[in-house]
Structure 1
Amino acid sequence: MFNHILVVCVGNICRSPMAEYLLRHKLSHKTDMTIESAGIGALVDKPADETAKAILLENGMDASNHKARQITKDMLAKADLILAMEEKHLKHLYAMAPQVRGKAFLMGKWLNDQPVPDPYRQQRPAFEHAYKLIDQATDAWLKFLDK
């Protein structure tokens, strides 16, 4: 059972918050599940990017309370499943805590290991592309998470 999911990107203001809120939305009926996000180079205490927040809001999710957090070994230890956006994020996590190898995967694992490109400081189409990939990836994960 996956009761504690941790989503990881770099700054924790674009991709991982979008994935966190999408997973929370899609799994809202699972009241015993914790879904959170953090960054490997987090912009600590910064809100989610304005474009990411706007796209989430347009899709029925309010990320206005999000504050970026730096990943810690404790967060990694507590998580049952860790979802990263790119292979280099997984390598960083493995270096930080080698024991997470069996529970850390790419968000796009079930989409042929599709990475989710970073839309940070780009125009809205880059955010829309990232959101679409995250939406597809979270759908693909649901068959394992919604049990």
Structure 2
Amino acid sequence: MGKVPREGVRFRILFVCTGNICRSPLAERLTRSALGPCPALQVTSAGTHARPGLEMDRHAVRTLVRLGGDPEGFGSRLLVPALVAEADLVLTAASRHRAHSVALHLAAATRTFTIAEFGTLARAVPPERVIRHRDPVCRARALVDEARALRGLVRVDEPDIADPYRGSRRAYRAAGRSIAGALDVAFRLLTHPRDA
């Protein structure tokens, strides 16, 4: 999913963490890899306290590559209100990032979840309510609507993904696995063959 003209984008997914060099870029690039080339879907990331233009943390890069993602061309960026306002789905590494994102644009509250929370809710969604749609944008919108409807009805045991920054390689691998595992069902719903 390379750079596409803004007019071609119909659904924007924004991942958020603190510095935009570990968790949110891992999530962004894993999602791009899982969804494949789809100009209608744009996947980006930002950090609540990011210094713009930094590369991914080298341990995060190693973890990403092991999980099948591509770090090429990544540059960190600061989360600003416009990014939240434009996003159709905001997925954050932790609850504090969700609160920060919503504070920047209150109307985004209904479409902002932690990554782990969204993963738990996606697992509770009856698949036919999403995969009946052929268009990937319709599927994405349906998935967000279904997850929103289940919020508060489905228990989320651990909504946050621990920050591996400056931690052990094991901490990075754990964060990567947590992100990939949380998003796995959502990926399958969005890419499931319509006639399978």
Unmatched tracts of structure 1, length 5 or more: none
CA distance in 2, matches of 1:145, 1:9: 23
Give unmatched runs, 5+ long, in structure 2. 1-9, 121-155
Is 1:128 matched up with 2:173? Answer: yes
Q: Distance in 1 between matches of 2:190 and 2:86?
A: 17
Q: Please tell me whether the aligned partners of residues 17 and 37 of structure 1 are also in contact (alpha carbons under 8 angstroms).
A: yes
Aligned to 2:22: 14
* Match of residue 108 from structure 2: 100
Query: What is the 5 A alignment of 1:56-67?
Result: 56-67=64-75
The answer to whether structure 1 residue 43 and structure 2 residue 51 are counterparts is yes
In percent, how many aligned pairs have the same letter? 32
* One of 79, 85, 98 as aligned partner of 1:77: 85
* TM-score in terms of structure 1 length: 0.91
For these two proteins, the number of residue pairs brought into alignment is 146
Give the partner amino acid of 2:162.
Answer: P
CA–CA distance in 2 between the matches of 1:58 and 1:10? 23
Taking only aligned residues, the RMSD between alpha carbons, in angstroms, comes to: 1.7
CA distance in 2, matches of 1:96, 1:13: 21
Letter in 2 for 1:5: I
Return structure 1 stretches of 4+ with deviation > 6 angstroms: none
Higher RCO structure, 1 or 2 (CA under 8 Å, sep 6+): 1
Match of residue 91 from structure 1: 99
Partner Cα separation in structure 2 for residue 138 and residue 6 of structure 1: 13
**CA shift at 1:58, angstroms?**
2.4
Amino acid across the alignment from 1:118? D
Partner residue of 2:60 out of 52, 56, 62: 52
The 3 A distance-change label for structure 1 pair 84 and 61 is: same
